[in-house]
Chain A
Amino acid sequence: MQTTSDEALIGRIAAGDKLAMQVLFARHHVRVYRFVLRLVGDPSRAEDLISDVFLDVWRQADRFEARSQVSTWLLAIARYKALSALRKRPDEELDEETAAAIEDPGDDPEVAVQKKDTSVVLRECLTKLSAEHREIIDLVYYHEKSVEEVSKIVGVPENTVKTRMFYARKKLGELLKAAGVERGWP
Chain B
Amino acid sequence: MMTINNKAAEREEIEALLPWHAAGTLSRREALKVEQALANDADLARQYATVQEDLVETIGLNESLGAPSARAMQKLMADIEADSSTVRRTASSFSFGGWLSDKLSSFSPRTLAWSATAAALAVVLQAGLLAGMFVSERQGKLYDTASFQGDQIAPGAGTYAMISFAPQATAGEITKLLETYKLALVEGPNGGVYKIRLAVTSLPKEEVAKVLKRLQDESSVRFVGPTAAE
Known: A12-B172, A123-B57, A169-B19. A59 touches B85 (CB 8 A): yes
Question: Which residues of B lie under 8 Å from residue A37 when comparing CB positions?
Answer: 65
In the complex, are the beta carbons of A55 and B95 less than 8 A apart? no
B interface, over-half SS: helix
Cross-interface CB contact of B80 among A21, A26, A29, cutoff 8 Å? A21
Question: Which residues of B lie under 8 Å from residue A184 when comparing CB positions?
Answer: 46, 50
Known: A22-B113, A140-B19. A12 touches B170 (CB 8 A): yes
In the assembled complex, B25 has its CB within 8 A of some CB on chain A: yes
Question: Which residues of B lie under 8 Å from residue A169 when comparing CB positions?
Answer: 19, 50-51, 54
Cross-interface CB contact of B90 among A16, A20, A122, A173, cutoff 8 Å? A16
Cross-interface CB contact of A33 among B24, B68, B83, B115, cutoff 8 Å? B68
B91 to chain A, nearest CB (A): 10
B66 to chain A, nearest CB (A): 8
State which of B117-125, B131-139, B157-165, B193-201 sits at the interface with chain A.
Answer: B117-125
In the complex, are the beta carbons of A185 and B20 less than 8 A apart? no
Q: Which of A136-186 contact B (CB under 8 A)?
A: 137-138, 140-142, 144-147, 162-163, 165-166, 169, 172-173, 183-185
Question: Which residues of A lie under 8 Å from residue B229 when comparing CB positions?
Answer: none
In the complex, are the beta carbons of B58 and A141 less than 8 A apart? yes
Question: Which residues of B lie under 8 Å from residue A8 when comparing CB positions?
Answer: 170, 172
In the complex, are the beta carbons of A26 and B113 less than 8 A apart? yes
Greatest chain B CB density within 10 A among A26, A48, A144, A184 is at: A26
Cross-interface CB contact of A54 among B15, B58, B76, cutoff 8 Å? B76
How far is B55's CA from A172's CA once the two chains are assembled, in angstroms? 12
In the assembled complex, A109 has its CB within 8 A of some CB on chain B: no
In the complex, are the beta carbons of A126 and B120 less than 8 A apart? no
Residue in chain A with minimal CB distance to B114: A26
Against B, the Cβ 8 Å flags (1 = close, 0 = not) of A13-44 are: 00111111111011101100110011000010
A138 to chain B, nearest CB (A): 6
B45 to chain A, nearest CB (A): 11
In the assembled complex, B17 has its CB within 8 A of some CB on chain A: yes
In the complex, are the beta carbons of A19 and B170 less than 8 A apart? no
Question: Which residues of B lie under 8 Å from residue A18 when comparing CB positions?
Answer: 77, 80, 98, 101-102, 105
How far is B119's CA from A15's CA once the two chains are assembled, in angstroms? 18
Question: By the criterion of a CB under 8 Å from any partner CB, how many residues of chain B are at the interface?
Answer: 66
Residue in chain A with minimal CB distance to B27: A146
Against A, the Cβ 8 Å flags (1 = close, 0 = not) of B47-66 are: 10011011101111110011
How far is B83's CA from A55's CA once the two chains are assembled, in angstroms? 9
Against A, the Cβ 8 Å flags (1 = close, 0 = not) of B75-94 are: 11101100101100110000
Known: A17-B171, A18-B101, A169-B19. A38 touches B62 (CB 8 A): yes
Cross-interface CB contact of B98 among A15, A23, A46, A50, cutoff 8 Å? A15
In the assembled complex, B168 has its CB within 8 A of some CB on chain A: yes
Known: A16-B90, A26-B119. A122 touches B53 (CB 8 A): yes
Known: A19-B119, A21-B80. A173 touches B101 (CB 8 A): no
Known: A23-B119, A26-B116, A50-B68. A127 touches B61 (CB 8 A): yes
Question: Which residues of A lie under 8 Å from residue B24 when comparing CB positions?
Answer: 144
Question: Which residues of B lie under 8 Å from residue A30 when comparing CB positions?
Answer: 67-68
In the assembled complex, A58 has its CB within 8 A of some CB on chain B: yes
B211 to chain A, nearest CB (A): 24
Q: What residues make up the interface of B, taking CB atoms closer than 8 Å to A?
A: 15-17, 19-20, 22-26, 46-47, 50-51, 53-55, 57-62, 65-69, 71-73, 75-77, 79-80, 83, 85-86, 89-90, 95, 97-98, 100-102, 104-105, 112-116, 119-124, 126, 168, 170-172, 175
- Would you mind naming 10 contact pairs between A and B with Cβ atoms under 8 Å apart? A2-B124, A3-B120, A8-B172, A17-B97, A17-B100, A27-B116, A123-B57, A138-B58, A142-B62, A172-B54
